[in-house]
Structure 1
């Protein structure tokens, strides 16, 4: 099972935060899928994208390159915490895989482990597909919870720097007149 679930400790985003994050991650996923992420960079996402086959998708809304690079830096942090969670995020947002398709992938890589049966006995076995679906949902939710504050702060810092830069240009322009 993924280790990222224990880090977020079951905390979830509220509806507004989730909508904001999923909007950006969807645009980012389309940006990654389009191949705009430069291969010459030693990006973890670029390496992952090189290993999978592309499928045709209808045109999706895409973020610009500056936003894409900012989001890449934040999402790459998940890779260092938990590679399974990172892969599940890419499957959801870059490849627009359904929850069931992601669960099938997760089921395929799931290793047998000690699990509690309904009669409260411990047994060493591979998790069921239903268990994999629940775990995938929890892992993605946990990864999104961890990404949100970093991504929000990154965009806020960038916007503040942009405002300062524009304000200084306006001051210089008014002084020169």
Structure 2
């Protein structure tokens, strides 16, 4: 089982937060999938994308390069916490994979573990597909929960920098006149 799910079990974003983060992650996923992220950079996402085949998708809305690089720095933090969660995020947002397709992938890579059966006996076995679907939903939700505050702060910080930069330019131009 993914370590992200165990450390943030039950923590979820509210509807407003989900409505804010998911479009950004979707645009970022389209940006990553388009190949805009430089392969020569030492980016974990670029290394992952080099290992998979691209599929043809209709044109999706994507973020600009500044936003993409900003989001990439935040999403890279998930890689260091949990590589499975990182992979599941990229499958959903970069490749547009359905939850069932992601669950099939997760079912393929998950290792057998102790599980409680319906008759309350403990058995060492691989989880079912429905269990995998529930787990990937929890893992992706938990990863989004962890990303949200860092991404929100990164956008706020960048906006403050832009404002202070523009204000300093305005002060300089008014002084020179």
How far, CA to CA, are the matches of 2:36 and 2:8 in structure 1? Answer: 31
Q: Does 1:21 align with 2:21?
A: yes
- Deviation, structure 1 residue 162: 0.4
- Structure 2 CA distance for aligned equivalents of residues 5 and 65 of structure 1: 31
Match of 1:53 in 2: 53
Number of residue-to-residue matches in the alignment:
177
Query: Which digits, 9 at most, give the CA deviation of each residue in 1:66-119, with x for residues without a partner?
Result: 111111110000000000000000000000000000000000001110000011
Cross-structure match for 1:106? 106
Q: Which runs of 4+ in 1 moved over 2 A?
A: none
Deviation at 1:7, TM superposition (A): 2.0
| 2-structure distance, mates of 1:10, 1:68 | 29
CA RMSD of aligned residues (A): 0.7
TM score, norm. by length of structure 2: 0.98
SS of the aligned residue for 1:37 comes to: coil
| Unaligned residue ranges in structure 2 (runs of 5+) | none
CA shift, 1:125, in A, is 0.3
Corresponding residue for residue 65 of structure 1: 65
Structure 1 unmatched runs, 5+: none
TM-score w.r.t. length of structure 1: 0.98
Q: How does 1:145-156 map to 2 (within 5 A)?
A: 145-156=145-156
